[in-house]
Amino acid sequence: MIAEMLAQDTIAGFLALRMMNDHPIPYLFTKPEELGELYLGEVRYPLTKLLIRLAQKYPDDSFGIFARACDERSLIELYKNQQLDQEKIVFVGVACSGELAEKCECLEPYPSQIDIGEKVEGRGNLAIVNEIEAKPEEERYRFWMDQFTKCIKCYGCRDICPVCFCPSCTLEDHNLVHLGGMPPEIPIFHLVRAMHMADRCIDCGLCEEACPADIPLRTLYRKVRETVKNLFGYVPGENIEDLPPLEVLGDGAFEICRTCNKK
């Protein structure tokens, strides 16, 4: 399938992982004969971030990409935000194994189109979110402040996020966050990012995997994601026809509500 698309020039390249020096790394396959080195293991990598760069550099070309369920959700959000042209992206759907679904606590570990693998049941739930939400307000506040104070402001959560694409990041705006200052402003740094994730987070969990301080970022974003779902009936990455209720303006400094039209 991929070899045929490359041979017929249906796509300019296929973005996937390739084994090099015993490590899987991102690679743009452009020739069918290269595909023997394509890596099909269960290493997760935000390839859609690289896809944006490719699309920007080669706007007239089409590209292929492997897409797990979380990748497909990110593609949907990137289409909505005009970061990628859906007509120029071909995805090959990859269903995750039960083991990977268990590790990722994935609620739906399969894309809408399965080309590789078999559909398995979801393994995740919102138990931790509900457990924290059931605590008294003061206890919840202490819990999150304790977590945020562990932050070393490495920007790993932002840099690995497949739906962080703003050319100018609010988290580097000196009016909100003091650049180079340590420790980072608590809780501004994380609450600003949580606000931006509220109608954008695809629940892939890569931010939490990347965090060297073991801050439960996915739990935080799952909470704000659930709030948006309850208030507006919107789920990021679910339906390409549904517009996100919050819209980033300018450099990402403000958010407005599409539904209530309030800043």
Is 115 among the domain residues?
Answer: no
Whether residue 251 sits in one domain with residue 138: yes
SS3 72: helix
Whether residue 71 sits in one domain with residue 25: yes
Whether residue 140 sits in one domain with residue 239: yes
Whether residue 21 sits in one domain with residue 135: no
Q: Using CA atoms, how far apart are residues 91 and 84, in angstroms rounded to an integer?
A: 13
Strands (E), the chain: 13-20, 23-29, 38-39, 63-67, 89-93, 246-249, 254-257
State the pTM of this model.
0.89
Q: Which amino acid would we find at residue 170?
A: T
Is 15 among the domain residues?
Answer: yes
Number of domains in the chain: 2
Is 202 among the domain residues?
Answer: yes
Whether residue 168 sits in one domain with residue 81: no
Is 88 among the domain residues?
Answer: yes
What is the span of the domain harbouring residue 214?
Answer: 127-257
Q: Does 185 or 110 have the greater pLDDT score? A: 110
Whether residue 150 sits in one domain with residue 100: no
Q: Using CA atoms, how far apart are residues 71 and 16, in angstroms rounded to an integer?
A: 12
Mean pLDDT within 112-118: 94
Residues in the chain: 263
Q: Does 100 or 247 have the greater pLDDT score? A: 100
Q: Using CA atoms, how far apart are residues 83 and 69, in angstroms rounded to an integer?
A: 19
Whether residue 24 sits in one domain with residue 141: no
Strand pairing category for 13-20 and 63-67: parallel
Q: Quickly state the pLDDT bin for 124 (edges 50, 70, 90).
A: confident
pLDDT score recorded for residue 120? 92
Q: Which amino acid would we find at residue 131?
A: E
Is 80 among the domain residues?
Answer: yes
Whether residue 131 sits in one domain with residue 99: no
pLDDT at residue 22 tops 90: no
Is 232 among the domain residues?
Answer: yes
Angle (CA) 78 79 85, round 5°: 115
Strands (E), 34-121: 38-39, 63-67, 89-93
Q: Quickly state the pLDDT bin for 252 (edges 50, 70, 90).
A: very low
| Segment 197-250, tens digit of pLDDT | 999 999 999 999 999 999 999 999 999 999 999 999 999 999 999 988 886 544
Is 99 among the domain residues?
Answer: yes
Whether residue 90 sits in one domain with residue 132: no
- CA trace torsion 2, 53, 171, 67 (10° rounding): -10
Q: Using CA atoms, how far apart are residues 145 and 138, in angstroms rounded to an integer?
A: 11
Is 117 among the domain residues?
Answer: no
pLDDT score recorded for residue 183? 67
Q: For the chain, what is the mean pLDDT?
A: 89
| Segment 157-200, tens digit of pLDDT | 999 999 999 888 888 877 777 766 666 667 888 998 999 999 99
Whether residue 190 sits in one domain with residue 131: yes
pLDDT score recorded for residue 202? 96
Whether residue 163 sits in one domain with residue 93: no
Whether residue 225 sits in one domain with residue 177: yes
